Amino acid sequence: MPFALCLALLTGLLAACTGAPDHVTLRVLASPELADVEPLLGRLAEDTGVELTMEYEASADLAGRYPATGRPAPDLAWLASDRSFQLRVQDSGGRITRPESTSVLRSPVVVGLTPAAAGALRAKAPGGRISWADVADAAAGGRLRFGMADPRRSDTGRAALVGVATAAAGTGGALRAQDVSCDRLRGFRSGQSLTADSSRALLAAYAAHPERADALIAHESELLSLNAGGRLRAPLEIVHPDDGMVLSDFPLLLLDPRERGPYRKVVDWLLRADVQRELMRRTHRRPVDPDVRPTGPLAQPVGNALSFPDRLSTVQRLVDDYGDPAHGTADQVVFLLDFSTSMRGERIAALRAAFAGLSGADRTATGKFARFYRGERLTVVRFGGRVLQERTVTVRGDADLRTLDRIVADGGFDDATAVWSALDRGYALAAQAVRAAPRRPVAIVLMTDGENNAGLGPAEFLRRHRALGTAVAAVPTFPVPFGEADPSALERVARATGGRVVDARLSSLADAFKEIRGCH
């Protein structure tokens, strides 16, 4: 027998006797949050013969990396969540193959609060149980600054945004396209003071400058690791919002089907009870093995798990509407309020209650999400046959809101109703706002209960509106009619300006204001 053949047989026998596995190296596109599993990869290679080379560059839906677009294709992907990616697969019409996926660990997206912030929120929350609505309310009021990873790039940031938006919708089910309302997250967003491309980078930035935020929104596991790392003066209090959280399951995906054998070895190893316990100890994530009992802080129940949307378009609309968290945004809304004598009694009471609710008096979950918020610029114009009073404030705190409330609560009335002259004045104010801050969204809300009997007519108003510059003419008007107001004329003007009529006779005035404020 030739020497080379003998040597090959001997090598094979030795491998069989010793149980030494064949060595395989797989490239893994991973979420940056998973860098904390790196210390265990050496043991994985020893036990299975599979070496994982981790590339911590995964985006929220693997766009630009899978299918490959000119860059070397990874063999596996290990993500905080593959929900956005699976929706992209679903939307591809068969162009992208759905890869095999196995959940490895679990962790909910929660809120970590400084002790002072937690105490303040708990004191105002019903029964001391903090919700996303409470977080949004405090952010809108300028009482809470938070950090959250960019939902355009990060699985964690996207899961956090979906959780907040689902709670804001208040339907109890998965977020739908019609639930993505442009007014409900503006107050929440106004409190974001810290962001990063990944939650790992976010936590590092916070640890270096904790004075920049009072709260962090991230995975429970990451916040527990931050607390255990000794980088903070005082640990963050971890709160599982009472209105639910999105649960991440850290799946391992097989992108190259030719590597199914090594992939199965890795998955089987990761799901071993001893490895699940070690991963739980090192990463503070919850095991997926039901026979492995969570310990320490993880023994606390997760709470109400929220469903992820089942349409990519819904997620994309939500992310697009939220925009770039590194750049602040705040609307300007011009409220044109009819104070003709026909408004006396129940109608003015409803108007005043609606304004008080938007100023923070409405303590329902919807009210907390839809209230006026810090940085928002608000103009109130009371009109009858002419402009009776006009005031503009940029909201910095409760004192500014009290100023607007006084205008609405204490103003007198007028015998005439000049609807279209008031709207013409509204567009003069809009023109000033567009010139002063071209990137600030502006909208007009026109509330009236009467027929126009003074000043401009609707045709003359529309003629003047057509003469405005493009930017000003694009400012939408949202008429809110009730009582004897002419719905056909209001509808015509709403269409011409790019707005829409919201009929307060079909719902409460407060709900009508919540629905349209800033939506355009």
| Domain closes at, from 232, 247, 262 | 247
3-state secondary structure of 270: helix
Please, are residues 297 and 224 in contact by the beta-carbon 8 Å criterion?
yes
**What pLDDT is attached to residue 506?**
59
User: Do you know the residue count of the chain?
Assistant: 520
Of 98 and 63, which is predicted with more confidence? 98
Residue 150: pLDDT above 80?
yes
Residue range 99-117: mean pLDDT, rounded: 96
Question: HSE (CB half, 13 Å, CA atoms) of 298?
Answer: 26
Phi, psi for residue 490 in degrees, rounded to 5: -65, -40
Residue 95: pLDDT above 50?
yes
| Shared-domain flag, residues 362 and 488 | yes
- The sign of the dihedral angle between the CA atoms of 386, 389, 392, 398 is negative
**What pLDDT is attached to residue 297?**
93
Question: What's the whole-model pTM score?
Answer: 0.83
Query: CA 20: distance to chain centroid?
Result: 49
pLDDT tens, residue by residue, 451-469: 888 889 989 999 998 888 8
| Shared-domain flag, residues 112 and 223 | yes
Could you tell me the pLDDT band of residue 385, with boundaries at 50, 70 and 90?
Answer: very high
The answer as to whether 17 is a domain residue is no
CA–CA separation, 465 and 455 (whole Å): 15
The answer as to whether 16 is a domain residue is no
| Shared-domain flag, residues 355 and 500 | yes
Residue range 398-409: mean pLDDT, rounded: 83
Please, are residues 107 and 286 in contact by the beta-carbon 8 Å criterion?
yes
Sheet holding 76-78, edge to edge: 50-55, 24-30, 76-78, 251-254, 100-103
Residue 182: pLDDT above 90?
no
CA–CA separation, 304 and 281 (whole Å): 24
Could you tell me the pLDDT band of residue 410, with boundaries at 50, 70 and 90?
Answer: confident
| Shared-domain flag, residues 113 and 230 | yes
Q: What is the mean pLDDT of the chain?
A: 87
Whole-number percent of the chain with pLDDT over 70: 91
The answer as to whether 81 is a domain residue is yes
CA–CA separation, 106 and 302 (whole Å): 10
The answer as to whether 191 is a domain residue is yes
Please, are residues 409 and 428 in contact by the beta-carbon 8 Å criterion?
no
> Which range is least confidently modeled, 98-102, 409-413, 454-458?
409-413
Residue 201: pLDDT above 90?
yes
Residue range 357-364: mean pLDDT, rounded: 81
The answer as to whether 60 is a domain residue is yes
**What pLDDT is attached to residue 292?**
96
Residue owning tokens 């998973």: 34
| Shared-domain flag, residues 365 and 508 | yes
| Shared-domain flag, residues 241 and 283 | no
Count Cβ atoms below 10 Å from residue 424 Cβ, excluding itself.
16
**What pLDDT is attached to residue 211?**
95
3-state secondary structure of 135: helix
CA–CA separation, 217 and 37 (whole Å): 21
| Domain closes at, from 209, 228, 247 | 247
CA–CA separation, 258 and 255 (whole Å): 9
| Domain closes at, from 264, 294, 324 | 294
Residue 118: pLDDT above 80?
yes
**CATH assignment at residue 339:** 3.40.50.410
Residue 29: pLDDT above 50?
yes
**What pLDDT is attached to residue 170?**
81
> Which range is least confidently modeled, 75-89, 102-116, 441-455?
441-455
The answer as to whether 50 is a domain residue is yes
**CATH assignment at residue 68:** 3.40.190.10
| Shared-domain flag, residues 113 and 30 | no
Dig out the tokens for 175 from the structure.
């977020």
| Shared-domain flag, residues 180 and 93 | no
Helices and strands per DSSP (H, E), number in the chain: 20, 17
3-state secondary structure of 244: coil
| Shared-domain flag, residues 382 and 511 | yes
> What letter does residue 415 receive in the DSSP assignment?
S
Residues in a beta bridge with 77:
29, 253
> Which range is least confidently modeled, 30-44, 123-137, 169-183, 390-404?
169-183
Domain count, the chain: 3
**Most confident option among 20-24, 145-149, 442-446:** 145-149
The answer as to whether 262 is a domain residue is yes
| CA–CA–CA angle 389, 395, 397 (5° rounding) | 115
**Most confident option among 36-40, 124-128, 312-316:** 36-40
Residue 344: pLDDT above 50?
yes
> Which range is least confidently modeled, 40-44, 95-99, 280-284?
95-99
Crossing angle (nearest 10°) for helices 199-208 and 220-228: 30
Residue range 272-286: mean pLDDT, rounded: 97
The answer as to whether 392 is a domain residue is yes
Residue 7: pLDDT above 60?
no
CA–CA separation, 120 and 65 (whole Å): 44
Could you tell me the pLDDT band of residue 236, with boundaries at 50, 70 and 90?
Answer: very high
What domain range includes position 503?
A: 332-517
Pairing between strand 105-113 and 286-287? antiparallel
Pairing between strand 50-55 and 247-248? unpaired
Please, are residues 339 and 382 in contact by the beta-carbon 8 Å criterion?
yes
| Shared-domain flag, residues 69 and 129 | no
| Shared-domain flag, residues 33 and 160 | no
Q: Which residues contact 491 (CB under 8 A, 6 or more apart)?
A: 479, 501
| Shared-domain flag, residues 124 and 68 | no
Of 329 and 359, which is predicted with more confidence? 359
